[in-house]
Amino acid sequence: MNSEPMNAGEILKLNTMALLGSWLARLWFGSARVRILNRNVYDEYLVGDPRKGNVVVGTWHRNCIFLYYFFRKFKDMLIMGSRSRDGELAVRLGTRVGINFIRGSSSLGGSDALQGMIEYMNKEGKGKLCTFPVDGPRGPARKLKKGMLILAKETNSFFVPVTCSGNRLITFSKAWDKTIFPYPFSRMVIDFHQPFKISPDISEVELEKLRQEVEDILNELTDRVDRLCGYTG
């Protein structure tokens, strides 16, 4: 990563690319037809009564491009975005379509960003949502890390495993996470697992057991929606 400050030309280039990209994203992803499985979870915990509490969404890195766009409608949503120069374009583009970011990653400022997310979720008021790919930012793919579980534990938030697939997808086959997003006018399926809370007194051994259980849940959800959509990667 290049840590030197960007010059005016680089900033202008990034802003222009973000502007054009945000227009394209709205046209492209806005044409997708979305089917939501376990609709009651979405209705009750994400768009329903905010007094139910805050929500931490856990998903695989492969799903992030479309799911971040889908979740942009939640004005109190916060996503961890990389501080690296490579991540700068994604953050600027996402901001233009309505996504809120806190900067950091597991390799650069991650602990600060996680603490910032904890402070945000613990602020007065409910109905907030935080998310970050639970196998990110560098994998291995579909192997869950504990950061978002810790966020849910420290903030008494509901943790909701979420995944998606589609009938016609573009796949970045050379990427470590096999990133997916839909062709225009595709059908996307989003599946929500039942929310749960994590005891603030959970032991390290129990947390590791839970980590493996949630990893298995996410993989089962992912395989199910892939089969439903006929997606084979």
The residue with tokens 């680089």 is 10
pLDDT at 1 (0 to 100): 43
The pLDDT of residue 88 is above 70? yes
The pLDDT of residue 151 is above 70? yes
| Number of Cα atoms under 13 Å in the Cβ half of residue 22 | 17
Q: How many CB atoms lie within 10 A of CB 191?
A: 22
Confidence of residue 144 (pLDDT cuts 50, 70, 90): very high
Q: How many CB atoms lie within 10 A of CB 75?
A: 10
Mean pLDDT of 221-226: 98
Among 19-33, 45-59, 93-107, 168-182, the minimum mean pLDDT is found in 93-107
Q: What digits encode the pLDDT tens for the residues 17-37? A: 888 988 988 999 999 999 999
Question: Which 8-state DSSP code applies to residue 222?
Answer: H
Q: In this structure, what are the phi and psi dihedrals at residue 158, rounded to the nearest 5 degrees?
A: -75, 135
Contact 162, 191 (CB under 8 A): yes
Cβ-proximal residues to 176 (8 Å cutoff; 6+ apart), any chain: 138, 139, 140, 141
Confidence of residue 87 (pLDDT cuts 50, 70, 90): low
Contact 232, 226 (CB under 8 A): yes
Confidence of residue 83 (pLDDT cuts 50, 70, 90): low
Contact 45, 117 (CB under 8 A): no
**Would the CA dihedral through 155, 146, 132, 44 be positive or negative?**
negative
In percent, how much of the chain has pLDDT > 90?
54
Strands 169-171 and 180-182: antiparallel
pLDDT at 180 (0 to 100): 97
Written as six digits, the tokens of 19 are 């502007």
Distance CA 97, CA 67 (A): 13
Model pTM?
0.87
The pLDDT of residue 106 is above 80? no
Mean pLDDT of 151-175: 96
Mean pLDDT of 60-64: 94
Distance CA 92, CA 101 (A): 9
Angle, vertex CA 140, rays to CA 17 and CA 167, nearest 5: 65
